Structure 1
Amino acid sequence: MLLRKSNKMAEEEDLETALNRVMILFKYLEDKDVFQTFYTTKLSKRLIHGVSASDEAEASMISKLKEACGFEYTNKLQRMFTDMSLSKDLTDSFKERMAQTHADDNDITFSVMVLGTNFWPLNPPTHDFVIPQEIVPTYDRFQRFYQMKHSGRKLTWLWNYSKNELRTNYTNQKYILMTSSYQMAVLLQYNKNDTMSLDELITATAVSKEILTQVLAVLVKAKVLVNEESEQYDLNPGFKSKKIRVNLNQPIKAEVKAESSDVLKAVDEDRKYVIQATIVRIMKARKTMKNQALIQEVISQISQRFAPKIPDIKKAIETLLEKEYIERVEGSKDTFAYVA
């Protein structure tokens, strides 16, 4: 919470002091790779949603982590900042192009983040999504614009991370509704209809029933929609709010749960490769080593990052034997040799 805008620390000096205290605790963490993975996920959310306390504070924390753990530990974090800068330039360039061609997108304000797959811990949607007709022209223009700049690259649109603002024209007081893409897709259906059934909304948006029921629950709770009959949702013309800007964008429980599970799975997979790579590096340098000495050397080299379990190291050794990176020395079953 220290690096979010909502943090109440008034002075940068206070925040810097707090970050220094965090680093003292960090030094005592055994599983620094778990911290790294969760930190990367949280940083990605702060950057995507624009809720960082400041770029300077983020850069300061990354610098401290780099000093403690080295360049490799923070490489992805730094590349994420690079992507954000490049995305801003890309959005500005796209807007200039649209202004030059006098493209009419019905007053749609559009910004985009093009994020490298290898650096961002973002999962593509696991279900279909029908792009609302109101934004299809903008979507198509950006696709063409990007392909002209980067021929051969493929864009995967992460609608589950996108956010939108809709202006109400049916209420006495005009409001700005801040929504997820799924909420936007639902609400735009009410430009043509005052009432829709759950099945009609599923057909129109292609969002799964599990996700859509959660989306609708938020809209009903906020009284943007009314649900007086089972699986029938009406637009509420009497909607009122104390705030002009109404935030409806809340995390989907199913996606939050899946995200935490994915983080832990990613840590487990990374550990397998780190252990294997460490064994290969050690064996390439030493040429031959006894089993126990190899295990102890692996523990010694990896312990700064996480505490490897001996069964995992043994499993990695067996994997490398199968892949013929190493082999058993003839006449000495507990000695391994590097295969050049």
Structure 2
Amino acid sequence: MEDVNNLYKYLNDKYIKPQRTAVLCGTVHCMMIIEELGLHLWKKYVIAPLKAEMLTLVLGALHDDRTGLSMTFKEKEIINGVLQSLVAVEKYEKKENSLKLYEMIFEVPFLEETSEHYRLEASRLLQEGVSKFMNKILERLDEEDVRSVEFLQISSYIKVRRICEERMVVDKLEAIQNECPTIVQNERKDDLRNAFKLLKLTQGGLSVLASQYGEHIKKQGLDTVTSPIQFVEGIINIHSKYTLFTNTVFSNDPVFVSARDIAFSAVVNQTTKGRCKTPQFFATYCDYLLNKSRKDGFNTEVDEKLTKFMDVLRYLNEKDVFENNTWRLLAKRLLFHSEIISEGEEALLDKLKLACGNHLGTKIRQMLADSTFSFDLTKKLKEMTKIDSESFQVFSVHVLRSRTWPIEQSTSSFAVPRELEKSAELFEHYYPEELKGRQITWLYNLSEGDVQLNYLNKQYTITMGTFQIAILLEFQKTDSKTCGELMGITKLNPAQFQNTIQSLVNSKLLAVAAGKQDYSQPSTVISLNTDFWSSRSKFRLETIPETEATTSFIIKDRKEYLQAVIVRIMKSKKNLHQNVLIQEVLSISKSRFDASVELIQECIKTLIGKKYLEETSTNEYSFCGIENGLAGLYGLVADLSENFHKVIYNFRHEYRSFLRIIRARRSTSCNINEKVESVFGDDLLISPTGVV
């Protein structure tokens, strides 16, 4: 038609178009240009009378193409030309919707036929099994997309796609979801990938598959072994596996990433008898990596393990407990195993500080500084005392700053054995002059030494604590002693004494008669085990661990942290309702631990008592300011001081008045209480009644 229009272009331009302009003014009858006239005649004499037969032939050809009877290139051109003509004939129509004829004659019947075809096709394919069904459905959807692009108008693409999805996916959604547990459990990647693609097409269809996926990950994680190192490495391996799985199968879809994270959070924060052991396991694993980096250096393997461990660490809720245990294990390592860390350990600690933040990083930095100072100091003192004392050459001292190390001074008194007194006195004598102003407190509960056993058939060298050494030294001249005698000699308190004796009995160095293991009784007899045997000639004797101090320290640290968070929030907001304040505190503290509402309320009351906050109305607080907070610390002292001066002043003034009354009535008998009450009121009461 365009060729004919171009052939008569001169006629259109010189005659018909001017006439059309006149038509607009209403002077002559309407005239059409050649192309418009041709399209009008095509619509009137071809499309209108033949539309039913034409529709039947077009739908039949498209149906054959869907069922596998491919059309020739010529047939495709004919079908495409017919459908394009339904749009082209409306080219010169003054209508808002130029596709109205196309939609009325072809699109509506085509969509109905498409819906019926794929309804039957989906039922037929489902009989072959869900796995094949999902694969075939995806193929049908892709084929229909290609067919739409080849024959249909752009506006029809979405309509056809929606009908295909409704008939083949939405209508069969239950069958697909029922298959999800099986394919998730067996980890059939192709089926999972197909199910993901199909269920994503439905509203909320991914929830069932994501839930099954999360439960599967959780089960895999909970089935890991309970040994600390194996548990953490098992969690790391599972996390690496399902992170890759989520990426390759589910394209890192947020729904499945969230399901994976929830599952790992449940695994990492699992509790046994109300207690979560994961923070201790994670800290032990960090210590294991430090050992490995010390032996093998900070190689690619250690770096990769640490990176993967950091990915898992973010799921831990009680990060403060992990940091505390890591802090304690590092302190134990520096005190009892290695004074100076290797380059590999230092690189590992740098990455750990970067991951955990300044809270742990500052402590580690200060501890390393103390260890370096202690190593240099011990080396210097050994050079200075080389002539004076040979025994000091096997003596090393750790000089630790208080509040930097996770150590607590033992409340038990202790009588230092004579064998250890000389070395301690030498250290205090040669202690550097520039540090003389500092107070030295010996931590005997953390000290240890090597004891050589020579009374057995085999010689043993055992590393043990100072309290254990003190008790064991008492058996050099005798084979048995009572608990009362040992406690009197060592001066240990009952709890520390029982803990020390229990560790020696458990190691079988000492023995106690069966049924008489009550170490609190002074008459209980402790004997030296002369039949002791061990396959190792050199080993370390561990004491019974104490967890109460660690727990109380963590609770105290949490309270201080929450108080700091509350002050920071209130300093910014000035006034807040209690519920809003609690929610903000929970949001901030979540990165370190899950705080309870009761603990937050307790911290709020503490800050009110310190006058950092004040309760302006029911459950609403306002910030008083740092100055008021500091004033709260000194308020009581200031009030007492001021009141004391007032009382003294009033007492002196009223006492003079009282003396004047006595002098005026020197010869008169009176009740002293009457006069005192008249002067002082009820604030002062003199109990005896006397006559002047």
| Superposed pair shares fold, TM > 0.5 | yes
Counterpart residue number, 1:250? 542
In the aligned structure 2, how far is the partner of 1:92 from the partner of 1:131?
24
Partner of 1:270: 557
Task: Give, in angstroms, the shift of residue 37 of structure 1.
Answer: 1.2
Q: Are residue 85 (structure 1) and residue 372 (structure 2) matched?
A: yes
CA distance in 2, matches of 1:30, 1:168: 47
Instruction: Tell whether 2:577 aligns with 1:290.
Output: yes
Query: What is the aligned counterpart of 2:396 among 106, 111, 114?
Result: 111
- Count of aligned pairs: 325
The aligned residue for residue 191 of structure 2 is none
Match of 1:183 in 2: 468
Contact kept? 2:468, 2:501, Cα under 8 Å: no
Q: Which moved more, 1:194-203 or 1:73-82?
A: 194-203
Specify the alignment match of 2:678 in structure 1: none
- Higher RCO (Cα < 8 Å, 6 or more apart): 1
Alpha-carbon distance, 1:226 to partner: 7.0
Amino acid at match of 1:115: L
Deviation at 1:166, TM superposition (A): 2.9
Aligned partner of 2:525 in structure 1 is 231
RMSD: 3.2
Structure 2: which amino acid aligns with 1:210? Q
Which structure 2 residue ranges, 5 or more long, are not aligned? 1-283, 515-523, 626-692
Alpha-carbon shift at residue 98 of structure 1 (Å): 0.7
More helix by share: 2
> Partners of 1:278 and 1:107 in 2: how far apart?
49
Deviates more, 1:172-181 or 1:275-284: 172-181
Matches within 5 A, 1:38-117: 38-50=325-337, 55-99=342-386, 102-106=387-391, 109-117=394-402
Alignment match, 1:151: 436
Q: Does the 8 Å contact 2:339/2:371 carry over to 1?
A: no
Kept after mapping to 1: 8 A contact 2:339/2:372: no
The 4+ residue runs of structure 1 with deviation greater than 4 A are 5-11, 51-54, 105-108, 168-175, 225-230, 238-244
C-alpha deviation, 1:54, in angstroms:
5.7
TM-score, normalised with respect to structure 2: 0.43
> C-alpha separation between the residues in 2 aligned to 1:53 and 1:85?
6
Q: Which moved more, 1:74-83 or 1:316-325?
A: 316-325
Does 2:314 correspond to 1:30? no
How far is the alpha carbon of 1:203 from its aligned partner?
3.1
8 Å CA contact 1:194–1:235 kept in 2: the answer is no
- For structure 1, the 5+ residue unaligned runs are none
Match of 1:197 among 481, 490, 494: 481
Aligned position for 1:137: 422
Shift of 1:303: 1.9
> Given the superposition, is the C-alpha separation of residues 43 and 317 from structure 1 closer, same or farther in structure 2, using an over 3 Å criterion?
same
Taking a change above 3 Å as real, the CA distance of residues 107 and 319 of structure 1, as seen in their structure-2 partners, is closer
* Aligned partner of 1:210 among 478, 494, 498: 498
Q: 1:180 to 1:319 in 2, by over 3 A?
A: closer
Tell whether the 8 Å contact from 1:179 to 1:247 is kept in structure 2 after alignment.
no
Shift of 1:173: 6.2
Give the distance between the partners of 1:181 and 1:124, measured in 2 at CA.
14
Deviations 1:99-133 (A, max 9, x none): 2xx21354761001111221111122232322111
Equivalence for 2:624:
339
Say if 2:505 and 2:511, in contact at 8 Å, map to a contact too. Answer: no
CA distance in 1 between partners of 2:622 and 2:465 (Å): 56
What is the distance in 2 between the residues matched to 1:319 and 1:125? 29
Aligned partner of residue 160 in structure 1, secondary structure: helix
Report the AA paired with residue 303 of structure 1.
K
DSSP-derived class of the 2:444 partner: coil
Whether the 8 Å CA contact 1:80–1:120 is kept in 2: the answer is yes
Quote how far apart the aligned CAs of 1:59 are.
Answer: 3.2
CA shift in 2, pair 1:176/1:89, >3 Å: same
Percent of residue pairs identical: 29
Residue 139 of structure 1: how far off its partner (Å): 0.7
* Counterpart selection for 1:17 from 292, 300, 304: 304
Aligned counterparts of 2:453 and 2:393: Cα–Cα separation in 1? 14
Secondary structure of the equivalent of 1:166? strand
Q: Which amino acid aligns with 2:552?
A: K
Provide Cα deviations, 1:279-313, integer angstroms capped at 9, x if missing partner. 11122222223333322322222221222222322
CA distance in 1, matches of 2:457, 2:446: 31
Counterpart position of 2:601:
314
